[in-house]
Structure formats: structure tokens, C-alpha cells
Amino acid sequence: MLDSGLARRLAVLAGLPGVRERAEMVRDGCTRLRFHETLRRRMPQAAAESRVRGAWASASLDGATVPVEAVRDLMRGRRPWPVDPDPAMRVVRGAVTATAATEHLAGLLRTAPLQALARLHVAAASDLLPAEQLGRPRGGGEDCDELVTLGPAPALARTGRLAQLSELVAAGAAPPPEVPALVLAAVVHAEIAVLRPFVRGNGVVARAMERALVQASGLDPTGVAVCEAGHLDQGATAYLGALTAYGEGSAAGVGLWLVHCGDSLLAAVREAERVCEAVRAGRLT
């Protein structure tokens, strides 16, 4: 159960300007998506294409730009992965694997949230880090040089934020009535990005966890909303700027990030509707 003090703080965040309105719009959009005609019979195909576009967008936000058609072929096995991938392709493979892993996290998010986080990291960073650094938080002598615009990554041993992150992930899978699912998914995303619990792969993990929570919370049970594409839709600069504002800790900065995430999820639903139309028209077969 979510700590009462933390629940109150999250409820306050939901009351920041523009946040609750975005949460209601996102809920309505996801409800509309749920009843899309395509999803009555072809939900698995639509969800698979959502993961393709999500992995492509997540890699793009980390600077690894490849055609979405290439990501689709790689995920479907139509194209082999390079034997010796370049740095960009390593990021792409991490994004693909982590996005695919979100489909198997529902049971862990509530009962073993740190294990769920570790699984996403193993998926995201297997091509980026040695085995001994996979799936475990940074140690005292380890730093992280990702997301540098957010400032230095905090020393994990000096904060209680990793334990709080665990609590937030568990709550995000089953939000209390007073806290919209949008708020919890957005806060978890930002906490991973700001805390940077791992040496590498934090951005991909943060976006994959948001996707997992949006589905597990019931906000979009179909798994078709393309959360990552929603962030990319607003541009990498706006995405990093909103995360930086959150990291500053002010009410205005946190509110900016939450509104950004609301707008991103609205864009994610629009992209999901385009996915549904493409599946119905047979353009992805």
C-alpha cells in the first residue's frame, strides 16, 4: 500500500494547473481507443505494432535514429541483427528488447517492483554494459554520464529515492483513487531519469516502465498506446527540457513535466489510432 504521506503528495501534484484536466482527457482518449473496431479481433497485431513504433521512438530519443521499417523487420525476425552492431544499433536493440519485455511485467510491478526494474535494465543494456553491471543499481564508485542536461546523477547511497521509486512503481500498477494513473506513470518515468539508478540505459528503462504502468494500471489495458512516440512527437528538446524542469523540484517544474506527459499520452493515443487504421487496412502485413 502506498504510504499515506506519499499518497498525499501525489494527490497535491494531481491538483497542479492543467494536470487533472490532462488526466481526464487521457482517460477519455484511452477509453475511446479501447473500443476501436480493430481491437475487437486484431488487438495482438495492433499491440505488436505499438511496440515496434515505441521501440523506434525510444531509441530515437536516445539519439539512435533508424527507419521504423528497419525496427519492424528486426522485431519480426525478417532481418538479422548485425553481428557487430555499431553504437546506435546497440541502443536500438536495447530499446526493442526492453519494449518487448514490458509485456511480461504485470505480475512483478506490484509484488517485486525493483525486480521489474532490473529486468527492464537487463533488456535495455545487455549490449551496453558488462554482465556484472546489468540489473543492479550503481555502486558507490560508479557514475552515470547519461542525461547530463539534468545535472549530475545523485549518489544512490545518500538518498532514499530508490526505495521510494520501488513504492511508486508498485502504486503505479494499482493507483489509489485520488491519484490519476497519468501522474504515477509520469512521476516514475521522471524519477528513473533523474535518479539514473543504472550506469547506462536509464532513458530506455524510464520510457519502458511508463509503457508498462500505463497498461498495468488499466489506463490503456490494450497496450496499443505508443507512449514513447508521444514524447517524440513533442521533440527531444521539449522532452529533456520538461525532465530538467521536474528535476529542479519546484511545483512549476513538476507541473510542467506532468502536463508534458499528459500531452504526450494524448499524442500516444492518436498514434495508436493510426496503428489501428493501418492494421485494419492491412498495410502492415
Let me know how long the chain is. Answer: 285
Query: Do the Cβ atoms of 123 and 91 come closer than 8 Å?
Result: no
Query: Do the Cβ atoms of 217 and 184 come closer than 8 Å?
Result: yes
pLDDT tens figures, 40-53: 999 999 999 999 99
Q: Which CATH code of 3.10.620.30, 3.30.70.2860, 1.10.3290.10, 3.40.50.720 fits the domain covering 4-281?
A: 1.10.3290.10
The pLDDT of 229-257, averaged and rounded, is: 97
pTM of the shown model:
0.96
Query: Do the Cβ atoms of 213 and 204 come closer than 8 Å?
Result: no
Query: If we measure between CA atoms, which residue out of 160, 47, 176, 54 comes closest to residue 110?
Result: 176
Q: State residue 237 phi and psi, 5-degree precision.
A: -65, -45
The pLDDT of 224-243, averaged and rounded, is: 97
Q: Is the pLDDT of residue 159 over 80?
A: no
pLDDT at 3: 75
pLDDT at 283: 80
Q: And the C-alpha cell for 49?
A: 505494432
Residue 123 and residue 101: Cα distance in Å, rounded? 7
Is residue 158 very low, low, confident or very high in pLDDT (cuts 50, 70, 90)? low
pLDDT tens figures, 190-210: 999 999 999 999 999 999 999
**Cell 506527459, residue located:** 261
Residue 19 and residue 82: Cα distance in Å, rounded? 43
The pLDDT of 79-103, averaged and rounded, is: 95
Is residue 284 very low, low, confident or very high in pLDDT (cuts 50, 70, 90)? confident
Tell me how crowded residue 183 is: count the other CB atoms within 10 A of its CB: 26
What residue spans define the domains of the chain? 4-281
Q: And the C-alpha cell for 232?
A: 517524440
Q: Is the pLDDT of residue 20 over 90?
A: yes
